[in-house]
């Protein structure tokens, strides 16, 4: 099986959006997805975010959706918003290939830090991130407001 990791194009966004909705379902929060495909297109075209995709014969089977931000302590930082591989392609190394490519992308962009969130009950994801020596900042609380 030949898998290619590449930057997403506008044509990939319907697949990206569907994978995000599938992830929301897995995370038991499908009703929380308030964005539309048009939101994805608009914000992609204005470079609010970017996506690496795992491509198998033209089919998007994995995504790493990220954006750049700034840490006042570390400098340029990448935030990984969503990372998902389709169910039928899990456990065969595609996630590792995609995540390794994302780390390379962060380094190429001059990032000093990469952050993301993981649900405390998502043991498969936690086990995956543990292989990378991830640090879990349990003393910091996530905060948000709807505006």
For the annotated catalytic residues, the residue numbers are 129
Q: From edge to edge, which strands make up the β-sheet containing 59-71?
A: 4-7, 50-56, 59-71, 75-85, 113-116
Give the SS3 label for residue 92: coil
- Residue 51 CA to chain centroid, in angstroms? 7
Tell me how long the chain is.
Answer: 147
Alpha helices (H) in 12-147, listed in sequence order: 13-26, 37-45, 94-108, 123-130
């Amino acid at each position: 099986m030949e898998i290619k990791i590449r930057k997403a194009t506008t044509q990939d966004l319907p697949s990206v959006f569907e994978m995000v909705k599938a992830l929301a379902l897995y995370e038991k929060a499908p009703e929380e997805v308030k964005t539309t495909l048009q939101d994805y297109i608009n914000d992609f075209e204005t470079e609010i975010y970017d996506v690496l995709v795992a491509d198998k014969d033209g089919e998007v089977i994995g995504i790493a959706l990220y954006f750049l931000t700034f840490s006042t302590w570390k400098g340029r930082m990448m935030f990984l918003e969503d990372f998902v591989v389709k169910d039928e392609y899990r456990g065969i190394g595609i996630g590792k290939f995609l995540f390794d490519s994302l780390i390379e992308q962060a380094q190429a962009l001059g990032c000093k830090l990469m952050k993301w969130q993981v649900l405390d009950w998502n043991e498969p994801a936690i086990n995956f991130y543990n292989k990378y020596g991830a640090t879990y900042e349990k003393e910091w609380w996530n905060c948000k407001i709807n505006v």
